[in-house]
Amino acid sequence: MKRRDFLKTAAAGGAAAAALAAPAIAQDKRQWKMVTAWPKNLPGPGVAAQNLADRITALSGGRIEVKLYAAGEIVPGNGVFDAVAEGTAELYHAVPAYWGSKSKGILLFGSQPFGLRADEQVGWLAHGGGQALYDEMYGRFGLKPFLCGNSGPQWFGWFRGEINSADDLRGLRYRTTGLASEMAAKLGMAVQAMGGRDMFQALQSGALDAGEFIGPWSDSALGYHQIVKNYYWPGVGEPSSAEECAVNAKVYEELPDDLKAAVSLACESLYNPVWTEYTTKHAQALSQLVASEGVQVKKLPDEVIVALGNAAGEVITELREDSDELVRRITESFLAYRAAIVSYMPYADNGQMNARVLDYKY
């Protein structure tokens, strides 16, 4: 065959091969809908959700295209768990603290009153057996779960009046979520669950006396400081609050191994960037709230913290005695990891933090 004829034949063959390959490549692309519990681009969780959608798309090489739908665009924020379980969407971004009606055991994977910090939460899942229990619990609902961020320590919240004793909490209409709501209820607070924007409207109308959402960065964006000025810490109800991604289990299992790894890595690799962004911007926002908005930062009296701790202990005891054997196993696993960490931290992080605030020149 002459060289010129060979090149023509090769070119034709190459074009045919490309034509055959193109549909195969196109067929390997997936378009996923991510539903979220947040308003679009809400500082904190709304931003983190979009970052996760973008990261899955990037790490999959575009073979999974994730489009984000904010709360209310396809389903309400409190409907994302069911939407993904039922296959209406492929994945969601929310927090475990919203799913207590599914199982009380789920709540421990997000935050625990007087429980784990953001780094410790990952430690429990990665090194203390927590992830297997997380998978087992969510598997009941046809979901594959991943932690993908954390807000760090939350605040006890915004209060119209001052808190001087545990009696001052009794009867207050208070917004919170998860196990923190059960702790608060044991001290006589009238707990109400609602989204961040609804909390603003309820504070404004007088339907709420107090409430907590996340922390200074997200809270200032929602404008709570425009209504109430007393901002209380520490948020012992949520020493950290993990954000999660859950994927429809059938959809996830149908992925090839490399795309499963891309989804997992996208979630895992976003945890620290989300956490450290919260920490940085919380600090910046708090300075602004105090300097320019007249916010009064106040510490809960030790008497109140102890009362809350005792109430939290009652909540944990109830979980240890739950009728669901899996809930009991999750609780015991959490408590074992917490005990180990609590015994170590006085020498480690607590020691460093206490040393850092002493009066010396630096």
- Do 179 and 107 touch, CB atoms closer than 8 A? yes
Dihedrals φ, ψ of 43, to 5°? -50, 125
What CA–CA distance (Å, rounded) separates 110 from 124?
A: 12
**154 is annotated as contributing to ligand binding:** yes
On the 0-12 / 13-18 / 19+ scale of CB atoms within 10 A, 123 is middle
Establish whether 325 is an annotated binding residue.
no
Best CA proximity match to 87, nearest among 37, 48, 141, 140: 141
Q: How many helices (H) and strands (E) does the chain have?
A: 14, 11
- What DSSP line would sit under 167-236, residue for residue? GGGTT-EEE--HHHHHHHHHTT-EEE---HHHHHHHHHHTS-SEE--S-HHHHHHHTGGGT--EEEE--T
175 known member of a binding site = yes
Is 136 marked as a binding-site residue? no
| 65 labelled ligand-binding | no
Residues at the binding site are: 154, 175, 212-213, 238
Residues at the binding site for substrate are: 154, 175, 212, 238
Residues at the binding site for Na(+) are: 213
